[in-house]
């Protein structure tokens, strides 16, 4: 029986595996994580709106009822296209008759990874989302203990670099979290005004396919939430103090990066042509030139549709459609039928800005505000995998909308309190309890 190996359990890889259910092939899905991640909602984990389990689903559970599929936890480090063999990090090897590469993208700091990645955390994985959540919450904890007003102002300043959908969503969610929720949780900070700054090098936000009118509307909605937006602003440097631009230093204790992505290193190991962003250039049927048995799909694929001058964007609908398409091509190939050309059915694009605020477009239809936000909710609930995930997210969103509260405000990790030292306030002077306060003396159990 023919062996189909799929690298990556994201939207594209998981869809391809599921579409091969019941076919006369053996499917092996390899991923570095044991879960499928719903990346469009990753920012909500980072801003304490959802817990990790709400947007992640075990890959094995997703394929449990598929008799011809198995899942391997591992990382592919080498691909031998001539011998049709993969090598994993632990030295194990896999043979394939058909290979589907769907490894996605990673953060791109434009050649400044060693310096900038340390001070500006990206948002592509659950670990990064949890670290962002930890840093935001720790900043408020540190500000609560900080007696100096200037230092406290810096601790409550957050900079988001990149004005694409992710940057807009992170900035809006951060502003709502900081101003409406966290500021109420900390007594000394109730009069403080947390500051969120969104920096974009281009002339407008959401420049990747959005109507300019919606870009302007998204900016207006962000500013209504209190976010400061700076377009046509290039980042020159990032360090522990904040972000340096042409006008000077923008101070902030936390900087988050959503400005660029590039292909993972596995794409380079294929030894095939790549575009400037490290994506693999594929044929109209998503296969590699000279290797029709190898398909590359999802964000990592550079495919220019017929009649277009631009490659397909890195969106979940593109990945999902390509996953089903490639599964069909494998079946056609086994039946001796000729390949087809992939045709993307554009279902539109959208971005949420905050509570009851969003922008969306599909065809000639343009939506903004509450109706766009409701459409965004419906679409994202529909795409989530697993009934439990859908129910949990729907409940959390409803509860948050009605109460203006978020329940995932947890600082996780061993000795997390000790990380306050990163903000320079490990042992600041605290107000000593007075006799009339009823406070127990040091060392007392009360």
Which residues participate in catalysis according to the annotation? 169
Please give the Cα distance from 314 to 311 (Å, whole number).
Answer: 9
Please give the Cα distance from 3 to 219 (Å, whole number).
Answer: 49
Q: Do the Cβ atoms of 14 and 62 come closer than 8 Å?
A: yes
At residue 312, what are phi and psi to the nearest 5 degrees? Answer: -65, 145
Please give the Cα distance from 273 to 85 (Å, whole number).
Answer: 20
Please give the Cα distance from 352 to 361 (Å, whole number).
Answer: 12
Q: Within 10 A of 90 (CB to CB), how many other CB atoms are there?
A: 8
Q: Do the Cβ atoms of 330 and 99 come closer than 8 Å?
A: no
In three-state form (DSSP H/G/I as H, E/B as E, the rest C), the secondary structure along 36-64 is: EECHHHHHHHHCCCCCHHHHEEEHHHHCC
Bridge partners of 242, per DSSP, are 239, 251
Q: Do the Cβ atoms of 275 and 316 come closer than 8 Å?
A: no
Q: Do the Cβ atoms of 5 and 99 come closer than 8 Å?
A: yes
């Amino acid at each position: 029986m023919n062996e189909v190996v799929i690298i990556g359990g994201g939207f594209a890889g998981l869809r391809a595996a599921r579409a091969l259910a019941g076919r006369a092939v053996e499917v092996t899905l390899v991923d570095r994580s044991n879960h499928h991640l719903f990346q469009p909602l990753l920012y909500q984990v980072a801003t304490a709106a959802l817990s990790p389990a709400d947007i992640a689903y075990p890959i094995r559970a997703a394929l449990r009822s598929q008799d011809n599929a198995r899942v391997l936890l591992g990382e592919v480090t080498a691909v031998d296209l001539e011998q049709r063999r993969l090598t994993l990090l632990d030295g194990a090897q896999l043979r394939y008759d058909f290979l589907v590469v769907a490894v996605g993208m990673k953060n791109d700091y434009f050649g400044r990874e060693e310096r900038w990645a340390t001070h500006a955390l990206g948002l592509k994985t659950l670990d990064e989302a949890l670290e962002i959540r930890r840093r935001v919450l720790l900043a408020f904890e540190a500000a609560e203990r900080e007696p100096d007003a200037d230092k406290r102002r810096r601790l409550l300043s957050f900079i988001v670099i990149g004005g694409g959908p992710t940057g807009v969503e992170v900035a809006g969610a951060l502003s709502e979290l900081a101003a409406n929720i966290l500021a109420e949780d900390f007594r000394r900070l109730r009069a403080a005004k947390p500051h969120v700054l969104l920096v974009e090098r281009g002339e407008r936000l959401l420049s990747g396919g959005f109507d300019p009118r919606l870009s302007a509307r998204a900016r207006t909605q962000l500013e209504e939430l209190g976010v400061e937006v700076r377009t046509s602003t290039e980042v020159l440097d990032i360090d522990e103090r904040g972000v340096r631009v042409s006008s000077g230093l923008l101070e902030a204790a936390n900087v988050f990066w959503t400005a660029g992505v590039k292909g993972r290193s596995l794409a380079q190991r294929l030894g095939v042509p790549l575009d400037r962003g490290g994506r693999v250039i594929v044929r109209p049927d998503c296969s590699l030139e000279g290797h029709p048995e190898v398909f590359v799909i999802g964000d990592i694929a550079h495919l220019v549709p017929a009649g277009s001058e631009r490659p397909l964007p890195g969106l979940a609908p593109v990945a999902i459609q390509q996953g089903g398409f490639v599964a069909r091509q494998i079946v056609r190939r086994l039946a001796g039928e000729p390949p087809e050309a992939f045709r993307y059915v554009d279902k539109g694009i959208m971005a949420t800005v905050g509570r009851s605020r969003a922008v969306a477009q599909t065809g000639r239809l343009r939506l903004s505000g509450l109706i766009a936000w409701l459409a965004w909710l419906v679409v994202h609930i529909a795409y989530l995998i697993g009934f439990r995930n859908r129910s949990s997210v729907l409940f959390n969103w409803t509860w948050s909308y009605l109460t203006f509260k978020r329940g995932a405000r947890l600082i996780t990790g061993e000795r997390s309190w000790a990380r306050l030292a990163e903000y320079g306030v490990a042992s600041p002077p605290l107000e000593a309890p007075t006799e009339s306060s009823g406070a127990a003396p040091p060392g007392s159990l009360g």
